[in-house]
Amino acid sequence: MGEPHRIGIVGAGWISGAYLETLRDHPAVTIAAVADLDPARAAAVADGLPGCRALPFADLLADDSIATILNLTVPAAHAEVAAAAIKSGKQVYGEKPLTSDMTTARTLLDEAAERGVTIGCAPDTVLGTGVQTARAAVDAGAVGRPLSAVAVMATPGHERWHHQPDFYYLPGGGPLLDMGPYYLTALIHLLGPIVAVTGAASRQRTTRVVGSGPRAGERIPVEVDTHVTGVLHHAGGALSTITTSFDAVRTTAAPIEVHGETGTIEVPDPNHFAGDVRLFELGATDWRTLEPSAGYAGSSRGIGLLDMLTSETPRASGALALHVLDAMTSLLHSAAEGRRIDLTTTVERPAALPLIPAARWRG
């Protein structure tokens, strides 16, 4: 296997714990350093990792032994951290979204290509057995020719549980940019790239009330649309309908359904790595649950980084994240302008995965 790949983590917030579950003891990687705006928080993470140091961001970048930056900062800082890492000649794998605007995202990918470094980006949940088993079934013809898909993410808003929910309702936030990457990435795995979108959106409230923590009861401004829906035109001819909402109390809709000429596949929540995949075949009387047949079994956040380090063509790639961002920002522009918008990017459908047992990918 050789020497472990040395990683520096930037951002020691809540999501870092999920990544550490995967990466902490993996033999292929060593977490060499952690940086955070709060030095105490960085130190707390580093103290739990053998040989790991809490460093200022500039010192972490200056460490030539660190080959890859794991960017777990808040979305507003994604671009700045990634650009600095690329300038230092380091690979970057970051949380979604890649950035909040296409110009910045294109610049990042161009600079990475110029310097010969790789960019990867979440979500990697779609590499688990849930979405990958559904994809394998679609590819095997379980629903016949795919015709359409429906994706639904509907919640009453994150302010009910998040003690600092402000950024969800400011430019760069909203339900589509927050949760859309999971659903759009899954739809691209299932049906291929998107060529055009048609969107609609609404904002029914100008303020929200923080529901927990020391700020409970405080009103915060809403500056973005909180219900976004649209139609995605896939290159293969299928049409997907997507709804992302912070304005719904509850839904009974499946997270994703793929409809074909001879069947329908129900896909589990793409924000999770696993879940039941169900098939209803034309002429059947009930749903049939499919056994997991593809994807990283037992995986958690960080599997996309490991895939990036071990695959010639990373599945959680910067190119895929750019295409997803193109679809999301185009949906928002379409909603504002009332017209269909053709995307300016495309991407190869990521390579399918076989079923990879946890014992195998964990080394």
| CATH architecture classification, 5-121 | 3-Layer(aba) Sandwich (3.40)
In angstroms, the Cα distances linking 357 to 136, 137, 251, 257 are: 16, 19, 33, 26
Classify residue 230 by burial, with Cβ atoms within 10 Å: 0-12, 13-18, 19+: buried
Collapse the DSSP code of 317 into the 3-class scheme (helix H, G, I; strand E, B; otherwise coil) and give the result. Answer: strand
Cβ atoms of 270 and 185 closer than 8 Å: yes
Classify residue 200 by burial, with Cβ atoms within 10 Å: 0-12, 13-18, 19+: middle
Q: For position 76, what pLDDT does the model report?
A: 87
Task: Quote the CA–CA distance of 64 and 7 in Å, as a whole number.
Answer: 11
Task: Quote the CA–CA distance of 256 and 264 in Å, as a whole number.
Answer: 10
Count of C-beta atoms within a 10 Å radius of residue 223: 14
Domain extents in the chain = 5-121, 125-294+318-345
Is the pTM value of this prediction over 0.75?
yes
Residue 170 is classified by DSSP as: S
Q: What is the separation of C-alpha 172 from the centre of its chain, rounded to a whole number of angstroms?
A: 15
Task: Quote the CA–CA distance of 186 and 191 in Å, as a whole number.
Answer: 9
User: What residues does 227 pair with on adjacent strands?
Assistant: 202, 245
What DSSP string runs through 53-100?
EE--HHHHHH-TT--EEEE-S-GGGHHHHHHHHHHTT-EEEEPSPS-S
Task: Quote the CA–CA distance of 2 and 54 in Å, as a whole number.
Answer: 25
Q: For position 363, what pLDDT does the model report?
A: 84
Count of C-beta atoms within a 10 Å radius of residue 194: 26
Count of C-beta atoms within a 10 Å radius of residue 275: 20
Task: Quote the CA–CA distance of 172 and 179 in Å, as a whole number.
Answer: 12
Collapse the DSSP code of 282 into the 3-class scheme (helix H, G, I; strand E, B; otherwise coil) and give the result. Answer: coil
Q: What is the dihedral of CA 137, 141, 143, 145, to 10 degrees?
A: 130
Count of C-beta atoms within a 10 Å radius of residue 126: 32
Write the pLDDT tens digit of every residue in 70-120. 999 988 899 999 999 999 999 999 999 999 899 999 999 999 999 999 999
Write the pLDDT tens digit of every residue in 211-249. 999 999 999 999 999 999 999 999 999 999 999 999 999
User: May I ask the CATH class of domain 125-294+318-345?
Assistant: alpha beta
Buried b (16+ CB within 10 A) or exposed e, 251-273: eeebbbbbbbeebbbbbbbbbeb
Task: Quote the CA–CA distance of 51 and 363 in Å, as a whole number.
Answer: 20
Q: For position 169, what pLDDT does the model report?
A: 96
Q: For position 7, what pLDDT does the model report?
A: 98
Helix (H) or strand (E) holding 195: strand 194-202
Q: For position 142, what pLDDT does the model report?
A: 98
Which residues of the chain fall short of a pLDDT of 70? 1-2
Task: Quote the CA–CA distance of 68 and 144 in Å, as a whole number.
Answer: 42
Strand 256-260 versus strand 263-267 pairing type? antiparallel
Q: Strand 5-10's sheet: what is its strand order?
A: 53-54, 29-35, 5-10, 68-71, 91-94, 119-121
Residue 86's Cβ-side half-sphere holds a number of Cα atoms within 13 Å equal to: 24
